[in-house]
Amino acid sequence: MACSNCFNGCADIISDQCVKYTGVPVPGLGIETGDPLLVVENKITDKILELMDASGIYPTIDAADVCALVQGYLPCCPPLDLNQVLTALLKSICSIDVRLLGLEGRMINVEGALVALNADYTIPACITGVTSSTDTHDVVQAALTKICLVEEDLHVNYTRTDELDTIIGAYISGQAVSTKYSSRMIPWVAYPIFFIPNGAFDINGVGIPGSTWENIYLCQGRSKTGIPDLRGLVIVGSTDMAPAPYELQTDPTKPGNPVYEINGPIYGINTVPLTTNQMPNHSHAVNVIVNQTPHNHAGTAAGPYIGPNIAGGGGFEGGGNTFRERNITLQPASIGLNITATATAAGAGEGHPNIQPGKGAYYIMYIP
């Protein structure tokens, strides 16, 4: 049987080396029209083999689509065949898997930390809107909200110490200038001073109107109604306030403790005379003088006697070396004694000083 499109037009079947390919060119396989059929077959076979191991497949990949991880496993320069691309992808997957395993371990640690963070809290009274079992995020948010409120309160109602000088200076500079002492005094407060220039007050202790002492009064009881008379007195805190408890020394309900009142009586004296009950237990020495009146006793006493006879009776009688005893009775005689006991008096009955150390001052008061 004759064939068509044969290389030699021969009707006999001959080797494919002599047969020409008469089809259209196939650039992808490198086949051109007129190539011997053997060449075409070999190119097709080579391509099949390349496809089988992917070495002949060159995927078209946009460099912008390749991440750094995959790029790290690819050769430096194109063209890149499918096998190189697949190898880079597999290595990238394995690398991601390793990273995921590490991440899983860290996630376990994070989960444990979250469990600890979400444990019940001890919520202080100043934090509102949350409870002990509230989620950590909400607790932190409530704490942040409270911090902001405190910061706002501090900014509005308080002043930083490093700003005080500026604020005080601005306040002072904004005040009306006044030379009157009352501009620097608190009303109804008694101030002690140790010098008053002549002409500052009138005879009643009233500050001269129009002067720097205007509306200031001496605390001597007559300069203005309600002004206390503090001359010679020490100011003591009033004890007519109730119901606060008092110290034992100041409790007005205890005997001997005075009740200090506003405009009340004045307590205390400058000298205190002692009474007998206030004196310590003691004794006095007594001087005793005994005066004996001169006297004698009448009678005789028994005793040896050598000598002549005694005329008139009594005594001993005998002569030479002999004697005899006579019984004689002594007559009692009166003895006169004078005893005088004297206790010397002492003391003048005067009081002892009862004044604390002090220094005089003028008390003044500003009354608007």
The Cα–Cα gap between 302 and 329 comes to 9
Backbone phi, then psi, for 288, in 5-degree steps? Answer: -110, 125
Asked whether residue 152 is domain-assigned, the answer is no
For residue 10, the model assigns a pLDDT of: 54
Alpha helices (H) along 179-240: none
Instruction: Please identify, among 97, 117, 137, the residue that sits at the C-terminal boundary of a domain.
Output: 117
Does 228 share its domain with 367? yes
Does 196 share its domain with 243? yes
Does 210 share its domain with 236? yes
Asked whether residue 202 is domain-assigned, the answer is yes
Using pLDDT thresholds of 50, 70 and 90, give the confidence band for residue 300.
low
Does the pLDDT of residue 109 top 80, yes or no? yes
Asked whether residue 169 is domain-assigned, the answer is no
Q: How far is CA 361 from CA 214, 242, 288, in A?
A: 20, 32, 58
Write the burial class of residue 139 (CB in 10 Å: 0-12 exposed, 13-18 middle, 19+ buried). buried
The Cα–Cα gap between 310 and 136 comes to 145
From the centroid of its chain, how far is CA 261? 37
* For range 37-63, the mean pLDDT: 79
**234-260, pLDDT tens digit by residue?**
888 888 887 678 888 888 888 888 988
Does 87 share its domain with 218? no
Paired sense of beta strands 362-366 and 190-193, if any: antiparallel
Does 33 share its domain with 102? no
Does 205 share its domain with 83? no
Does 47 share its domain with 79? no
Could you give the count of Cα atoms lying within 13 Å of 213 in the half-sphere of its Cβ? 17
Does 7 share its domain with 113? no
For residue 187, the model assigns a pLDDT of: 93
Q: Which domain holds residue 206?
A: 179-267+360-368
Predicted TM-score (pTM) above 0.75:
no
Asked whether residue 204 is domain-assigned, the answer is yes
The pair of structure tokens assigned to 97 is 């898997």
Instruction: Please identify, among 53, 81, 96, the residue that sits at the C-terminal boundary of a domain.
Output: 53
Asked whether residue 215 is domain-assigned, the answer is yes
Does 187 share its domain with 253? yes
The Cα–Cα gap between 306 and 226 comes to 114
The candidate with the shortest Cα–Cα distance to 19, out of 30, 5, 33, is: 5
The Cα–Cα gap between 253 and 356 comes to 25
Does 207 share its domain with 253? yes
Total domains, the chain: 3
The Cα–Cα gap between 10 and 3 comes to 7
Q: Which residue has the higher pLDDT, 339 or 192?
A: 192
Asked whether residue 46 is domain-assigned, the answer is yes
Asked whether residue 207 is domain-assigned, the answer is yes
For residue 218, the model assigns a pLDDT of: 95
Does 47 share its domain with 74? no
Asked whether residue 160 is domain-assigned, the answer is no
- Of the candidate ranges 21-30, 142-151, 168-177, the one whose mean pLDDT is the lowest: 168-177
Q: How far is CA 51 from CA 19, 29, 74, 79, 83, in A?
A: 26, 12, 20, 16, 10
Does 45 share its domain with 72? no
Instruction: Please identify, among 117, 147, 166, the residue that sits at the C-terminal boundary of a domain.
Output: 117
For residue 104, the model assigns a pLDDT of: 86
